[in-house]
Amino acid sequence: MADTAVRTNRPAMGSWIYDPKVRAVVYQLVLVGIVASLIYEAATNALSAMARLRIPTTFDFWTQVSGFDINQTLIPYTHASTYGQAFWVGLCNTLLVGVLGIVLTTIVGFTVGIARLSTNWIVAKLALVYVETLRNVPLLLQLLFWYNAVLKPLPAPRQSFQLPGGIFLNNRGLVLPSPQFGAGSELIGFALLFGVAASIGLFVWAKRRQKRTGQQAPLVPLTLLLIVGLPLAIDLVLGHPVTFDIPQLKGFNFTGGKQVFPEFVALLLGLSVYTASFIAEIVRAGVQSVARGQSEAAQALGLAPGRIRSLVIVPQSLRVIIPPLTNQYLNLIKNSSLAVFIGYPDLVQVFAGTVLNQTGAAVQVMAITMAVYLVISLVTSSAMNLYNSRMARAER
């Protein structure tokens, strides 16, 4: 009788409502429907409010004439260009700061991180002061310090500091010789690209050869010969098609050359030294995570301290360093939006500032700006994750 009662209380075969998997799917569909309806209602209300307030709801502004100038442009742009062209100028300026900032902050961060572990008391304490000072001062204050306290007090162009190589430093920025490309200069560019590609191939070959035989190839002189010597040789053979326009002081300013504006220098320095203080601690922790026996074994093999650090310690510490290092790269890219406070024409200052104020297309402009930063961050994160997985496979 008990067995009969149990069988009677069980759900009938094929009754989907008692299936946990089916219920889970139904709940998810209901949730998606609720979220979609909320988004639809919010979008409908926003569009109706924008229409009532005569706020633009389309992207027609993209092809309209901007009517304003931008002092630093990596691509052709004038006040007669469109808002779309202004967007690309701001994006290029943001990418320039991001790429150069990542390179500079990596160099400074790794250097300071290794210095934190130095056996020299003065070097270690100076690195400690650098880290503890810069990472505990807000980034915005550091940007304002570099711009207002360091660069603005520099002398006027007529009293510029003259540096070697025809370089001048003043309160309007850094004035550099500008390269001029004549006929045949494209061959020098091809030679440079070939030298870089050949150097990468040489590096891969040398690593594989070292694993097989233990012999090291002279990578540094060969790389310099390919990247520097080959383009210089072709330039000499072609009669120097690449020349430099040296800046000349005329009146109250310089003519010729290429000017690097102080806003760009302040932003790059501020972002780099600030982010490097965090990377230094990441590097220090990564190096200390490597077992002491690894360095002792390398010493027993007769390796010099510099070779131990570069061949044994740092490669093993990368598995600990890379994940938090990725976060710092992303923070640097996103923090570059603070450029608006010192007047550097990045994407936020040009597009989300000037273009938004002139067109009134707030929703469209902000949506594009956020999407751009999202894409840049995802690309950076994907590249670092790929490198991290490659390092993990190499260790196995």
CATH code at 282?
Answer: 1.10.3720.10
Decide if 142 is inside a domain.
yes
For residue 342, pLDDT over 50 is answered with: yes
Same domain, 7 and 96: no
Q: Quick check: 98 pLDDT over 90?
A: yes
Percent of the chain with pLDDT over 70: 94
pLDDT at 176: 85
The 8 Å CB, 24+ separation contacts for 354-361 are 354/66, 354/68, 354/86, 355/61, 355/66, 355/83, 355/86, 355/87, 358/66, 358/67, 358/68, 358/83, 359/56, 359/61, 359/64, 359/83, 360/55, 360/56, 361/55, 361/56, 361/59, 361/61
379 shares a domain with 277: yes
Which tokens go with 87? 């967007």
Beta strands in the chain (DSSP E): 161-163, 167-170, 173-176, 178-181, 242-245, 248-250, 253-255, 258-260
**Is residue 265 domain-shared with residue 353, that is, in the same domain?**
yes
- For position 211, what pLDDT does the model report? 76
One domain for residues 145 and 7: no
Give the Cα-Cα-Cα angle 74, 76, 80 (nearest 5 degrees).
130
Give the pLDDT confidence score for residue 375 in this predicted structure.
94
Average of per-residue pLDDT across 355-364: 86
pLDDT at 101: 94
pLDDT at 111: 92
The answer to whether the Cα torsion of 270, 275, 278, 284 is positive or negative is: negative
Total count of domains within the chain: 2
Lowest mean pLDDT among 1-15, 52-66, 279-293, 358-372: 1-15
- pLDDT bracket for residue 15 (50, 70, 90): low
Q: Are residues 91 and 35 in the same domain?
A: no
In this predicted structure, what is the pLDDT of residue 96?
A: 93
pLDDT of residue 58: 79
Q: Which amino acid is at 70?
A: I
In a shared domain, residues 269 and 378: yes
Mean pLDDT, range 94-116, rounded to an integer: 93
Supply the pLDDT for residue 10: 52
pLDDT tens-digit series, residues 164-176: 878 888 888 888 8
Q: Provide the CB-side half-sphere exposure for 151 (13 A, CA).
A: 22
pLDDT in the model for residue 387: 84
9-13, 47-51, 213-217, 289-293: segment of lowest average pLDDT: 9-13
pLDDT band with cut points at 50, 70 and 90 for residue 5: very low
pLDDT (0 to 100) of residue 260? 85
Evaluated on CA atoms 189, 194, 195, 197, the torsion sign reads positive
Looking at the fold, whether 29 and 130 belong to one and the same domain comes out as no
Is pTM, for the whole model, over 0.85? no
pLDDT band at 11 (very low <50, low <70, confident <90, very high): low
Structural domain contains residue 241: no
The answer to whether residues 272 and 138 belong to one domain is: yes
Same domain, 381 and 285: yes
Query: For position 14, what pLDDT does the model report?
Result: 53
User: Does the pLDDT at position 217 exceed 80?
Assistant: no
Based on the fold, state whether residues 100 and 15 are members of the same structural domain: no
Same domain, 281 and 378: yes
Residue 390: inside a domain, yes or no?
yes
- Which pair of structure tokens corresponds to residue 124? 């270690």
Establish if 27 belongs to a structural domain: yes
Could you list the residue range(s) of the whole structural domain that residue 369 is in?
83-149+260-395
Strongest mean pLDDT among 227-236, 273-282, 291-300: 273-282
pLDDT tens across 265-280, in order? 999 999 999 999 999 9
- Residue 316's pLDDT band (boundaries 50, 70, 90)? confident
For residue 139, pLDDT over 90 is answered with yes
pLDDT at 232: 87
The average confidence (pLDDT) of the chain is 85
Q: What is the band of 6 on the pLDDT scale with cuts at 50, 70, 90? A: very low
307 domain residue, yes or no: yes
Residue scoring higher pLDDT (146 or 46) = 146
Highest-scoring range by mean pLDDT, 43-57, 129-143, 244-258: 129-143
Residue 233 included in any domain: no
pLDDT for residue 151 is more than 80? yes
Residue 7 has pLDDT above 70, yes or no: no
Same domain, 31 and 132: no
Stated length of the chain: 396
pLDDT value of position 230: 85
Percent pLDDT > 90 in the chain is 32
